[in-house]
Structure 1
Amino acid sequence: MSVQPRLLPWPGPAGQRCYLISDAEGEGYLSKLADEMEALQLQMGTELIGHARLMLADRKTDAGELRYLSNRLIEALQDALSIAESRGGRLPMPDDSERNGPVQMGAGVRNE
């Protein structure tokens, strides 16, 4: 059985957060459905950003349209943050030796 419950990308009946506890290790029906929903939410957010760029470049866009756009962008950002939280919660925890080990500097990075 999974150690961490998975935060699902849809609300429960009363609008509360929904979690999945499964022993299918991401291979169950609900896990796959959640993966598809997250992919769709991210795709819609990407498309919304493109639409926002066009609207903001158009000087004829009125305040009502910008308010509507702002609300859709907020929803897309909330979805993206929820997906990040869900996926972050499913990352394996490093053991103590990895947490306390030296930090490696990447190529081309200078430590001044």
Structure 2
Amino acid sequence: MSDGADHHNAGGRLLPWASPEGRPCYLVGDGTGYVSRLADEIENVQLGMAGELLGHACELLTERRVTSVELHYLARRLTESLRDVKRIAESRGGRLVRSPAHDPGGN
């Protein structure tokens, strides 16, 4: 696992967490190890939480008397969730590009 900038050259997987300094973390491997499975589990939890938060947001926004404090809290949680989902999409998209099944040469 690394948090360096040469992940693209190494073909590393963007992980769903950052280093203590806030930099992205990457994993180089075949995708079958413990850290890959842990990353998959965390991504699934994050996606589930995003779905639940979206449902909560829809309910809250149908209310007539929502306070600015409630809206601010909702916006913060939605921002965090969107950041997580964006990271998951980037990670999975990066793996699709490198996947032999998606070889543009058809080989």
Output the TM-score relative to the length of structure 1: 0.78
The verdict on how the C-alpha distance between 1:20 and 1:97 changes in structure 2, with shifts beyond 3 A counting, is closer
The match for 1:105 is: none
The match for 2:18 is: 11
The match for 1:96 is: 105
Identity %: 50
How many angstroms apart in 2 are the aligned matches of 1:31 and 1:97? 27
1:24-39 map, 5 Å = 25-39=30-44
Provide the alpha-carbon RMSD of the alignment: 1.5
Question: How many residue pairs were aligned?
Answer: 94
Structure with the higher fraction of residues in helix conformation: 2
Query: Any stretches of 5+ residues in structure 1 without a counterpart?
Result: 99-112
- Runs of 4+ aligned structure 1 residues displaced above 6 Å come to none
How many angstroms apart in 1 are the aligned matches of 2:80 and 2:44? 15
**Which of 60, 63, 72 is 1:58 aligned to?**
63
How many angstroms apart in 2 are the aligned matches of 1:13 and 1:32? 21
Deviation of 1:65 after TM superposition, in Å, equals 0.6
